[in-house]
Amino acid sequence: MPAAKLHAKLAVVVLIFVIGVSGGSPALAVRPDERLSDPALEARARNLSQELRCLVCQNQSIDDSDADLARDLRLVLRERLQAGDDDRAALAYIAARYGDYVLLSPPIKASTLILWTGPGVILLLGFGGIIWVRRRRPVTALPPLSAAEQARIKSLTAADQGPQ
């Protein structure tokens, strides 16, 4: 079997495995005993739990996480919604206890301003540095080839071309 066909089949097998593994865990994260009987309230809870970060996992929402802390946060969120809190109040309740880090999209305020502006500032500084270095570097013209160098190039290219 040619190597190209073997690589193609291996790539397909790996792709199927990765898709299968990555799609399975979020479906199992919210357990049946956590679900609310009111479908509208459950939909709100699911939407809000996608906005909250699992503090155990790396940048995963509590809706997608099967960690025990994520389960506890989902239960607290559902309790707040059942108590009559609106979406903003429920998120504020959890953020007050765990800090803005628990929000996947933290609010823009003085303490988080560097998080929001930092990447853009670093990118602008990088582009500015590249432009500064390129403008500062003097452009020097190469000296023309001597007669001996030109003759050497002609002999090398003639030897490469061979008889025609």
Which ranges of 30-112 would DSSP assign to H, the alpha helix? 39-49, 68-82, 87-98
Pair (70, 121) in one structural domain: no
Does 85 map to a domain?
yes
pLDDT digits (tens, 9 = 90+) for 59-118: 899 988 888 899 999 999 999 998 999 999 999 999 999 988 899 888 888 888 888 899
List all residues 6 or more positions away from 42 whose beta carbon is below 8 Å from its beta carbon. 35, 36
Pair (15, 62) in one structural domain: yes
Does 63 map to a domain?
yes
Residue 111 per-residue DSSP state = G
pLDDT at 27: 47
Query: Token pair of 126, please?
Result: 């990088």
Which residue among 104, 119, 143 closes a domain?
A: 104
List all residues 6 or more positions away from 53 whose beta carbon is below 8 Å from its beta carbon. 59, 60, 61, 62, 101, 102, 103, 104
By residue range, what is the domain housing residue 122?
Answer: 106-135
* The total number of structural domains that make up the chain: 2
